[in-house]
Chain A
Amino acid sequence: MSNKFIGQSIKRVEDKRFITGKGRYTDDIKLPGMLHAHFVRSPYAHARVVSIDTAEALAIPGVVAVYTGDDVAAINGVPCGWQVNFRNGETMREPKHPMLIATGDTAKHAGDPVAVVIAETKEIAIDAAEAVLVEWDELPAIASPADALKDGAPLVHSQFPDNKAFDWSFGNPVEEVDAAIEASAHVTTLEFVNQRVVPNAMEPRAYIGHYDAVADKYTLYTSTQNPHLIRLLMCAFVLGIPEHRVRVVGPDVGGGFGSKIYHYTEEALVTWASKQLELPVKWTSDRSEAFLLDAHGRDHVTKAEMGFDADGNIMGLRIKTIANMGAYLSTFAPAVPTYLHGTLLQGLYTTPKINIDMTCVFTHTVAVDAYRGAGRPEATYLLERIIELAAHEMGKDPAQLRFQNFIPPFDGVTQPGYQTQVALQYDSGNYAPVLQKGLDLLGYDDFRQAQKQAANSNKLLGVGFSTYVEACGIAPSAVVGALGARAGLYESAQVRVQPTGKVSVFTGSHSHGQGHETTFVQVVADKLGIAMEDVELVHGDSDTVAFGMGTYGSRSLAVGGSAIMKSIDKVLEKGAKIAAHKLECAEGDLEYGEGKWTVKGTDKSIGFGDVALTAYVPHVYPAGLEPGLDFSSFYDPANFTYPFGCHIAVVEVDKETGKVDLKRMIAVDDVGNIINPMIVEGQIHGGLAQGIGQALFEGTIYDENAQLTNGSYMDYVMPRADDLPMFETANQITPCPHNPLGVKGAGEAGAIGSTPAVVNAVLDALWSGGHNDVKDILMPLTSERVWRAMNN
């Protein structure tokens, strides 16, 4: 099999339409008779709806309907897709998340909708929404997860008297971890906050519900990462409409970072309303709504303790964390702080005893769910901050302390995978060389010299390390099912060879910027030995793609790509039967390559196109073989995949102002085999920008009334190109041993590794300036926070 395309930085075929403004996003779709929805939302984080008067709005010309919570009260709320019960066995508390808040009920976060206006134009809908008169009874509210557990805290759901959604423990028995820490020669304690961030996809969420009364069929156009999952959740759990009467289409999607995995109330509402009105209904979020309502990420308050023996070997890790769920449980929310976070606390270290104690709480804020990395950035932040602090406290070199505690190499083929203390078995890993490569790129010894000289100048220099391992390619269905998932996490693929030998590939993965139309086609073209132009990728439409679980968790190539590989194998297997018949030889005498079957040792061959044509025009054909060349497959992975890497940040800190200037960002990532190096590098770059964004710039700010006070780009700091240095990236390749492409996943690595590297670098700079007692600075590391750390 030739590798003409795999491993090549082929330019993205989808970019022609994207960069010429010809992408087709949901908001670009205009259907005949289409109406526009605009929501009336709670201005308060917590308030009872005393009354709603829609008469004035209904009287405005062009207004077609106004629905309130009372109109949809009998309809189910949007469901949660993952159940994590209390450690005492009590069932997870799962409040109803209604499409609209009914009269007498309470809005539970700012922006919770109470009514929707549907009108002939968007302008009319917006004006009429202002004419809906809502009488509110404002109630006290909380935004911080720590506040949720305080005595007398306002309750988010009155039926849950302590604001807890569930609690959870994981790892070794806590007594064993207590004993290990007790026996340690040195214990490093770090209390910190992993702050809440806003996903900020470039394309805001947008939906069109379209009920066709003649066909008795619904179509939902949605800006989503997983159309089939939305169909399943909406049909089976919310609207109770038969799945085969619903088509869900995800056209081009302009980013998601997790926030477009989930099933949102507006999606169900426009679908339901289109049935009431028998006309298409569109809703497009504006940027203010996106800040307020797209599921946020992170939001942990943590105390971590790591024990070391006298030689610096890690003895134990004990963690207590409170995680914010927001007001309602979003689709994957319970999994993020638990099975995507607690299970990663082994890191790359041989820590023998680990225990995490997690309390997940409700607050009067929008839901928190998976955001690029989803739990693994939080785990990496914890581990990499505490080991760096431990090195500082023990007077050890932070790189050497890591080398000393790394898990030894294992390839997962000749050596078994690594069994962690927190349930997972790593597939393959070789950690020391990525750190060494990072140190070489940095020029570590020279850096420390420069740092000493800088200590006497106006700018302090600092370096920060982060070595990470993460779990991608989610996930083995049986494993996640045992852990509370209400869905399987396999993927489906169909490879349809057309009679002329052109190939249509249908995948349940759904690109929202990752470049699947290029990467997946590179794989298929190479495996079949045909031109990339002869392969088309079809995704994002539940009527054309049999089934799909979608794109998140860096899973598309590892899981979706593996499903495609299974179908390709079936195509080639059947093709060989046809070829053997045509060439009058045994199948075993054939070899496939360069787009043709050749009788070994001869120049007798038949091309892929001829075999395809024969399959559809089966005049001379093997007896008993079905016509056609079209195969579907489902692939359920044997394990997660475990990419790893080393990120190193170099910063300069202005002693007078506290301003941090990121000078260098080095990323050495091992994401397994690489299909398109340019796309992988692009994914790493984007991830780095987001991880750096969390460290230095981003973060929600809620006031005492749980109002988001920085919900615009004038106040919420997104990283910009001029905030970032030229990234220095490199790869190591340790193939995944358990999937056919040997790939692990690259979508989230940048955001997972970089954040602690940047924060560690700032602390290192401060330590070099004699501020040795500074243990933590709250993210984002604003100039004022850094200045205060130097001047308190």
Chain B
Amino acid sequence: MELGAFVVVPGGEDFTAIHEVQPDVVAASQHSRAMYSSRKPIVGNDVLQSWMQRIRKLGVQSLWLTSGSVTRSALGAFARQGIERLLVIKLSSYAEMDLTDLFRFHCERRHPVTEAHDSHGELGVSLLDNLALRADGENSSATTKFEQVPYQFNGYAKRISSATERQELVGDALTGACAMQPFGKQIGDQVWIGEDVNLDSSARIIGPTYIGARTTVRAGVTIGPFASVERDCIVDCGTTVERSTVLPHTYLAPGLLIRQGLVDGSRFEHLGFGTVADLQPAGLGSRILSRKSRVQPSKTPTTSPLPADSNLVWEFAGSSSGSQAWLQVQL
């Protein structure tokens, strides 16, 4: 019985962003879109990669990626090609879920649709039988027509749809409250840094804290506690970053106080006020344009976004459903 795995990146991201290594390139060009993308690294980790590793344990050789929303008819096209069971993961949560156990539960219950839940509700992980996809309606969502059997998940799970939830996951990863490990070398008590970090000797790093690869931390800077400055950032002199996340390719001007916020280029989302402010007009922050981000996204397949798994091979494959664009990824 063939099992197909499908991962849906929410938010209607440009399809090229999925394989282009720099999802923030697209985000930067679309100012009105929600600033948070589930593909942005969390203490150096890609949540998609963590799901891929779990899917691989099911013995699945490849998965299909798409963005936006997925319709029943789009999945039905795969079902018609002989895939009998479909594992659909909406990339809206990080969950330390044993998918083998979910699969076993689904088979035992013999129900067309199983949806994983935790105490807060759906986790965006479902298993669908071919049967559930045969009577496909063009505009119906993937799992609405059949009654869903809930699979109760009691392990660690965190939604990552908002900046606040994301910051909670950062805190949990830094303190060991979940299995996600900061991607780098531990240099102190709950302090991790990535490769080639340029850390001024006068900078204060207060754990729990993560500093991503190739980030520059200048004189008099204080980072932490509960801070994550992701890869390729510059934090200028005297700035303080605490209980906050700074996303890749962000420049922060001197003397700032970044507290309880998520900074992505020039955009600052205050977790307490729930407000987004543009730092650019005041010269307080900006996007660092890397060499890769200055070129147009290529249609040529590239390698994995993060170094965590260098064996991944990205392959384009034609859409099976006509309107829905899919990318096949060999695991």
Do A and B pair up? The answer is no
